[in-house]
């Protein structure tokens, strides 16, 4: 989709969150083995699927999860939509921390709920949580859910334990359940550590539902494989019912095998990927500081999606995105699709070969340099 949706073959697409790297060889091998079986009918998920998940989460994130807590589905967005359906009724309010992943808005809207923004505070080049506003928003009796993005897309933050504790305590106090989207949890850079929200305390575990997937980590979104972790049996049954109502209750026959291979054999590949991605971020940062200082790169703690402050250019995010694509054949995301306070920002996908990144940055530089000097 990233490439096929381009208006011409000269466009460099650095927008949708897919990587331009082949997945780990172990995953490809697992898919080939399954394909050679030759029968692709209905199938049952094996115990090895759950063992791979629980082993990965304990090994990588010190998060002990029981098999019975896990529900599988086709993706994190369908998971979020099903959980909202399970935990709310039409007219309820769901809190999000903008600027945030744009599909959150549609998941809330499709369940006939109201979006409430707890806007992140942007100061000195860093985003922080507005706890006073969060307290106010969660105290509303119609607010039922906080949809947490952790690590945060698009601002690139990895929430600390202290931040998660304050969020969790506010939500507990106001009887608001936390849905934690942790799809980017494996793509965290040195000096930072992803802490699953549900692992912070037993009460947080009981008052939350976690969504995870190997799709971003191993570039396998097209295989449609994700999972939900819910400890409360009643909530889990409601979610399971919602998954079935939404008809996203079955993965394709290749997805479980791919997940098992990824989590059991993909760790070395992942470590190499993280190093490469961070080097791409450093290249981006150095390039813009040297050649285009009017654009600021925010610190990237996780994900491969850098957040650019373009407010000093004096142009709107929409105008920049539109003209970049039309005039420079460079496709980035405008900040306003992530909420109104995304104005003045752009998102750029760094998960590509270095040479492609260099070509994209040359286009970006040429586009702005001509305007600044002209």
For residue 57, what is the domain's CATH number? 3.40.640.10
What pLDDT does 33 receive? 98
Shared-domain flag, residues 132 and 274: no
Shared-domain flag, residues 192 and 276: no
**Domain-embedded: residue 76:** yes
Residue range 164-204, pLDDT digits in tens = 999 999 999 999 999 999 999 999 999 999 999 999 999 99
Shared-domain flag, residues 122 and 179: yes
Shared-domain flag, residues 175 and 51: yes
**Domain-embedded: residue 2:** no
What pLDDT does 372 receive? 62
Q: Please name the residue ranges forming H helices in 174-309.
A: 202-206, 215-218, 233-245, 255-265, 267-291
**Domain-embedded: residue 4:** no
Shared-domain flag, residues 259 and 273: no
Q: Which of 204, 235, 265 is the last residue of a domain?
A: 265
CA 262/CA 251 separation, integer angstroms: 16
The CATH number for 309's domain is 3.90.1150.10
User: Are 234 and 97 within 8 A, CB to CB?
Assistant: no
What pLDDT does 151 receive? 98
Shared-domain flag, residues 33 and 115: yes
Place of tokens 């993005």: 149
Shared-domain flag, residues 356 and 279: yes
CA contacts within 13 A on the Cβ side of 88: 32
Shared-domain flag, residues 77 and 113: yes
User: Are 111 and 147 within 8 A, CB to CB?
Assistant: no
Q: Which of 265, 282, 315 is the last residue of a domain?
A: 265
What DSSP assignment string belongs to 122-155?
EETTEEE--HHHHHHHHTSTTEEEEEEESS-TTT
Domain hosting residue 342, numbered range: 12-22+267-373
What pLDDT does 369 receive? 82
271-to-165, 188, 201 alpha-carbon distances in Å: 29, 10, 28
What would the two tokens of residue 68 be?
């019975």
What pLDDT does 373 receive? 53
Residue range 55-72, pLDDT digits in tens = 999 999 999 999 999 999
CA 86/CA 113 separation, integer angstroms: 12
E strand or H helix that includes residue 211: strand 208-212
What would the two tokens of residue 3 be?
């490439």
CA 272/CA 309 separation, integer angstroms: 28
Residue 351: which of 242, 212, 215 has the closest Cα?
215
Q: How many domains does the chain have?
A: 2
**Domain-embedded: residue 7:** no
What pLDDT does 7 receive? 87
What would the two tokens of residue 258 be?
């791919």
Shared-domain flag, residues 123 and 101: yes
What pLDDT does 8 receive? 92
Below-50 pLDDT ranges, the chain: 374
What pLDDT does 232 receive? 94
**Domain-embedded: residue 6:** no
What would the two tokens of residue 139 be?
């105290």
């Amino acid at each position: 989709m990233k490439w096929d949706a381009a208006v011409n073959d000269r466009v460099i697409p650095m927008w949708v969150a897919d990587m331009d790297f082949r997945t780990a060889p172990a995953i490809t091998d697992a898919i080939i083995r399954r394909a050679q079986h030759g029968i692709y009918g209905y199938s049952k998920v094996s115990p090895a699927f759950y063992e791979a998940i629980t082993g990965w989460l304990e090994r990588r994130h010190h998060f002990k999860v029981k098999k019975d807590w896990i529900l599988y589905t086709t993706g994190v967005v369908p998971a979020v939509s099903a959980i909202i359906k399970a935990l709310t009724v039409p007219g309820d309010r769901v809190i999000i921390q903008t600027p945030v992943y744009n599909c959150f808005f549609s998941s809330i809207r499709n369940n006939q709920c109201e979006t409430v923004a707890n806007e992140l505070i942007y100061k000195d080049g860093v985003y922080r949580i507005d706890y006073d506003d969060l307290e106010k928003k969660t105290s509303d009796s119609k607010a039922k859910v906080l949809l947490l993005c952790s690590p945060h897309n698009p601002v690139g933050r990895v929430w600390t334990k202290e931040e998660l504790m304050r969020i969790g305590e506010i939500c507990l106090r106001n009887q608001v359940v936390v849905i934690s989207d942790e799809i980017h949890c494996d793509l965290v850079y040195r000096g930072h550590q992803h802490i699953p929200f549900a692992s912070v305390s037993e009460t947080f575990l009981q008052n939350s539902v976690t969504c995870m997937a190997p799709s971003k980590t191993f570039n396998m979104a097209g295989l449609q494989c994700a999972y939900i972790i819910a400890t409360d049996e009643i909530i889990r049954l409601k979610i399971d019912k919602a998954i079935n109502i939404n008809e996203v209750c079955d993965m394709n026959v290749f997805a479980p095998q791919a997940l098992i291979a990824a989590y059991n054999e993909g760790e070395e590949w992942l470590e190499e990927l993280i190093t490469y991605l961070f080097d791409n971020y450093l290249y981006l940062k150095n390039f813009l500081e040297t050649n285009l200082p009017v654009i600021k790169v925010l610190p990237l703690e996780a994900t491969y999606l850098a957040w650019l402050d373009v407010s000093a250019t004096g142009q709107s995010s929409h105008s920049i995105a539109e003209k970049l694509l039309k005039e420079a054949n460079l496709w980035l995301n405008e900040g306003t699709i992530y909420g109104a306070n995304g104005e003045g920002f752009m998102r750029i996908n760094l998960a590509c070969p270095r040479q492609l990144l260099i070509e994209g940055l040359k286009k970006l530089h040429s586009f702005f340099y001509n305007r600044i000097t002209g």
